Amino acid sequence: MQTIHIDVAVIGAGTAGLAAYRAAKAGGASAIVIEGGPYGTTCARVGCMPSKLLIAAAEAAHHAGHTDKFGVHVDGRIRIDGREVMARVRRERDRFVGFVVKGVDGIPEQDKLRGYARFIDNTTLQVDEHTLVQAKRVVIATGSAPVIPPPFKAFGDRLIVNDDVFDWEILPQSVAVFGPGVIGLELGQALSRLGVRVKVFGARGGVGPLSDPAVRDYARQALGEEFYLDPDAKVLEMGQAEGKAQIRFVSLDGEEETEQFDYVLAATGRAPNVRGLGLENTSLPLDQAGVPLFDAQTLQCGDAPVFIAGDANNILPLLHEAADEGRTAGDNAASYPQVKAGLRRSTIAVVFSEPQMMMVGSRFADLPQDGFVVGEASFEDQGRSRVMGINKGLLHVYADKGSGRFLGAEMIGPRAENLAHLLAWSHQQGLTIAQMLQMPFYHPVIEEGLRTALRDAQAGLDAIALA
């Protein structure tokens, strides 16, 4: 077994790990990145990019079948070739992965180590059976993996996770989706639009990441008009029959039903990949899930020379957050024992359903009661939205009662991904509602709906000031 002495050892070559490695090197430290699995980030291989490829195909099919309202008639039926759809998804997915792998190829060979790392102590790692890494500091950037609740094992080989979808060569006829979160809604709606019979089951009433009851209820109704969606499903029995997954449940109309599906997609969340790291051999304090306790600003684990970044810490499992955290962890690993808070941008989240969903800044559920006002805008009669035939949506913006500062927003509606960026920039700059209303709004654009919500919030603030 060989021994390597290094300043910084980074475990994981995903988005956070690669950012940490580059930051550590830029900080003047010697560094090595350790990876046991295939190169290529979660985003490129099984996350954001392949899912958007499937969604793009679904949108093309949906829009082609809904042109009559414009007086444009597509003669004959729309034919969806599932084999061609999935061939493009895999081809373009592999192209995106190739870009990441090409970036890894640019790392000097002596800075890359293949194998699975396990802690011997706080800063000593054993990589498989071939290498002992004696590091001065360590960055954990091992990503996350889908969580499969034990009862789902009853589906046997009919059970899949989102990673499996993108390796399909053809589209199945039917899929049951458990979990109406971001992954479940995006893939469920996409598959439905591509002709797959889909039912989406949830628990406790959640729809995507939304916490505002009014916006969440609107989302439930809007999406439920297109495909079966029960966010608070009562599932009575899970199993297999006749080579398919079988589910006995209480339907939305209160009747007990039994249906069979080609596959069951478990979109029930993801958990940090920390099992098998040997963290029990360290002095790091761990939470109930076995994840090291850490400072959310510096990403340092306790007072040890160990840092944790990206999906492995499960703060905000998003690509741009992973990149920022990787840089913070790498910077601090290089400069240890001097550490400092890293960049924390305003929170922004988008669900690429149709209508889209977004959240910016503070969630409704996290705001202090009676400390804010709500500005509302419906997109059902919003000018440009009606022109384009995408006039479904509800936007809520939140403003601090005392200062008028913009606190956050939740929305389902058209072009939510674009509005989310405008609002996130405003939130990060600490703007008030009045200052946001001083910004230019063109006509006719969907952004005028945002102005309506801001005006409504300002009216609420003015009423408080006059009271």
> Which residues is 239 bridged to in the sheet?
246
Ranges of H-type helices in 106-225? 162-165, 182-193, 213-224
183 is in an annotated binding site: yes
Three-class SS string for 322-375? HHHHHHHHHHHHHHCCCCCCCCCCCCEEEECCCCEEEEEECCHHHCCCCCEEEE
Q: Provide the residue type at 140 as one letter.
A: I
Ranges of H-type helices in 123-275? 162-165, 182-193, 213-224
- Residue 7, Cα to own-chain centre: how many angstroms? 32
First and final C-alpha spacing in the chain: 76
186 is in an annotated binding site: yes
143 is in an annotated binding site: yes
Neighbouring CB atoms inside 10 A of 114's CB total 14
195 is in an annotated binding site: no
Examine the residue annotation and report whether 421 is marked as an active-site residue of this protein: no
185 is in an annotated binding site: yes
Q: How far is residue 143's CA from residue 41's CA, in Å, rounded to a whole number?
A: 9
252 is in an annotated binding site: no
82 is in an annotated binding site: no
> Which residues is 203 bridged to in the sheet?
none
Of the candidates 65, 32, 36, 253, the residue with the CA atom closest to the CA atom of residue 128: 36
Of the candidates 157, 163, 187, 186, the residue with the CA atom closest to the CA atom of residue 175: 187
Structure tokens at 370: 């009676």
462 is in an annotated binding site: no
Q: How far is residue 450's CA from residue 452's CA, in Å, rounded to a whole number?
A: 5
181 is in an annotated binding site: yes
52 is in an annotated binding site: yes
The DSSP bridge pattern shows strands 174-178 and 394-400 to be unpaired
Q: How far is residue 170's CA from residue 335's CA, in Å, rounded to a whole number?
A: 51
Backbone angles phi, psi at 54, to 5 degrees: -65, -40
205 is in an annotated binding site: no
The residue from 73, 396, 421, 443 that is catalytic is: 443
Backbone angles phi, psi at 41, to 5 degrees: -70, 160
142 is in an annotated binding site: yes
Question: Is-contact 312 4, C-beta < 8 A?
Answer: no
Query: What is the Cβ-side half-sphere exposure of residue 92, based on CA atoms within 13 angstroms?
Result: 16
Of the candidates 133, 137, 113, the residue with the CA atom closest to the CA atom of residue 298: 137
Q: Which residues are catalytic?
A: 443
Q: Annotated binding site, which residues?
A: 52, 142-144, 179-186, 269, 311
Q: Annotated binding site for FAD, which residues?
A: 52, 142-144, 311
Q: Annotated binding site for NAD(+), which residues?
A: 179-186, 269
